[in-house]
Amino acid sequence: MAALSSTVATQQICWGVEHSVETSDASDIQLRLRADVEFLSSEELRGRDVADDTIHDAANYIAQRMAAAGLQTALIDDKPFQSVTVTLGARAGARQNNQVTFELGSPQTGDPIVAEFNRAMNPLSIGAQAGRATGKVAFVGYGITAEKLDYDDYAGIDAQDAIVMVLRKEPGVSDPDSPFDGVRNTRHAYFATKIENAIAHGAAAVMFINDRASIDEAVKLVKYKISQEKSRGAKIRQQMESLPEAAKNSLNTLKMKLDSVNASIESLTLDQKRAARGILGISEAGGAADTKRKIPVVSIARDLADDLLTPIMGRSVTQIEASINKDFAPQSQYLDGVNCTVSVELKATTANSPNVIGVLPGRGELAQETVLLGAHYDHVGMGGYGSLAPGTIAVHNGADDNASGVATMLAAGERLVRDLRKQPAHRRILFVAFTGEERGLVGSQYYVDHPLHPLETTAAMINLDMVGRLRDNELTVYGTGSAKGLDDIVEASNKSRGFDLFKVPSGYGPSDHQSFYKAGVPVLFFFTGLHNDYHRPSDDFDKIDFGGMTRITDIVSDVTLQLAVRNNRPEYAETENRVQVRRQLTAYLGVNLSDRGDHVVLSGIAPRGPAATSGLEVGDQLTRIGKRSIRTSMDVLDLLRNRSPGENLIIRILRGDKPLDIAVKLGKRPSG
Closest-CA residue to 408 (of 473, 464, 370, 356): 464
CATH number of the structural domain spanning residue 377: 3.40.630.10
pLDDT tens figures, 57-89: 999 999 999 999 999 999 999 999 999 999 888
| φ, ψ at 139 (rounded to 5°) | -85, 120
- C-alpha pair distances (Å), 251 with each of 138, 302, 499: 58, 45, 49
Residue 634 scores a pLDDT above 90? no
Asked if 562 and 489 touch (Cβ cutoff 8 Å), the reply is: yes
Q: Does residue 6 belong to any structural domain of this protein?
A: no
| 620 DSSP 8-state letter | P
Share of the chain above pLDDT 90, in %: 66
Please tell me the distance from the alpha carbon of residue 45 to that of residue 443, in angstroms, as a whole number: 19
Burial of 485 (0-12, 13-18, 19+ CB in 10 A): middle
Domain match, 524 and 644 both: no
Please tell me the distance from the alpha carbon of residue 82 to that of residue 356, in angstroms, as a whole number: 6
Asked if 434 and 443 touch (Cβ cutoff 8 Å), the reply is: yes
Domain match, 256 and 299 both: no
pLDDT tens figures, 280-293: 999 888 877 777 78
pLDDT tens figures, 164-208: 999 999 998 777 777 776 667 788 999 999 999 999 999 999 999
The pLDDT value recorded for residue 349 is 87
Residue 421 scores a pLDDT above 90? yes
Q: How many domains does the chain have?
A: 4
> Looking at 311-447, which runs of residues are DSSP E strands?
333-360, 370-376, 428-434
Domain match, 443 and 552 both: yes
CATH number of the structural domain spanning residue 611: 2.30.42.10
Domain match, 428 and 498 both: yes
Q: Does residue 135 belong to any structural domain of this protein?
A: yes
- The β-bridge partners of 89 are 349
Which segments of 503-642 does DSSP mark as H helices, in order?
513-517, 546-565, 610-614, 633-641
Domain match, 147 and 171 both: yes
Please tell me the distance from the alpha carbon of residue 640 to that of residue 604, in angstroms, as a whole number: 17
| φ, ψ at 238 (rounded to 5°) | -60, -40
Domain match, 194 and 232 both: no
The pLDDT value recorded for residue 671 is 64
Domain match, 384 and 502 both: yes
Residue 16 scores a pLDDT above 50? no
Q: Does residue 481 belong to any structural domain of this protein?
A: yes
Mean pLDDT of 290-304: 92
Please tell me the distance from the alpha carbon of residue 300 to that of residue 85, in angstroms, as a whole number: 32
| 213 DSSP 8-state letter | H
Please tell me the distance from the alpha carbon of residue 431 to that of residue 358, in angstroms, as a whole number: 5
- C-alpha pair distances (Å), 656 with each of 234, 330, 522, 595: 72, 63, 51, 17
Asked if 661 and 7 touch (Cβ cutoff 8 Å), the reply is: no
Domain match, 223 and 145 both: no
Asked if 284 and 309 touch (Cβ cutoff 8 Å), the reply is: no
Long-range CB contacts for residues 575-579, cutoff 8 Å, separation at least 24: 575/479, 575/481, 575/482, 575/505, 575/506, 575/507, 575/508, 576/505, 576/506, 576/508, 577/506, 577/508, 578/506, 578/508, 579/478, 579/504, 579/506, 579/508, 579/509, 579/510
84: CB partners within 8 A, 6+ apart: 352, 353, 354, 355, 435, 436, 442, 443, 446
Residue 160 or residue 585, greater confidence: 160
Domain match, 551 and 652 both: no
Torsion of CA 40, 42, 44, 46, to 10 degrees: 80
Asked if 585 and 472 touch (Cβ cutoff 8 Å), the reply is: yes
| Reported confidence tier of residue 38, pLDDT bands at 50, 70, 90 | very high
Closest-CA residue to 307 (of 265, 279, 276, 335): 335
The H or E element spanning position 152 is strand 151-152
456: CB partners within 8 A, 6+ apart: none
Structural domain containing residue 242: 215-276
User: How many C-beta atoms lie closer than 10 Å to residue 534's C-beta?
Assistant: 18
The pLDDT value recorded for residue 98 is 97
> Looking at 310-410, which runs of residues are DSSP E strands?
333-360, 370-376
Please tell me the distance from the alpha carbon of residue 500 to that of residue 503, in angstroms, as a whole number: 10
314: CB partners within 8 A, 6+ apart: none
Q: What DSSP string runs through 70-129?
A: T-B---BTTBSEEEEEEEEEEEE--GGGSEEEEEESSGGGSPPEEEEBTTTEEE-TTS-S
Please tell me the distance from the alpha carbon of residue 370 to that of residue 427, in angstroms, as a whole number: 5
Residue 78 or residue 638, greater confidence: 78
Domain match, 112 and 177 both: yes
Q: Does residue 22 belong to any structural domain of this protein?
A: no
Asked if 150 and 200 touch (Cβ cutoff 8 Å), the reply is: no
Q: Does residue 161 belong to any structural domain of this protein?
A: yes
Domain match, 374 and 244 both: no
For the stretch 251-281, what's the b/e string if a residue is b when 16 or more beta carbons lie within 10 angstroms of its beta carbon?
eeebeebbeebeebbeebeebbebbbbbbbb
What average pLDDT is seen over the chain?
A: 89
Domain match, 312 and 167 both: yes
262: CB partners within 8 A, 6+ apart: 233
Q: Does residue 122 belong to any structural domain of this protein?
A: yes
Q: Does residue 10 belong to any structural domain of this protein?
A: no
Q: Does residue 407 belong to any structural domain of this protein?
A: yes
The pLDDT value recorded for residue 80 is 98
Please tell me the distance from the alpha carbon of residue 532 to that of residue 529, in angstroms, as a whole number: 10
Residue 610 or residue 585, greater confidence: 610
3-state secondary structure 552-572: HHHHHHHHHHHHHHCCCCCEE
Domain boundary among the residues 276, 292, 314 is at: 276
| Reported confidence tier of residue 531, pLDDT bands at 50, 70, 90 | confident
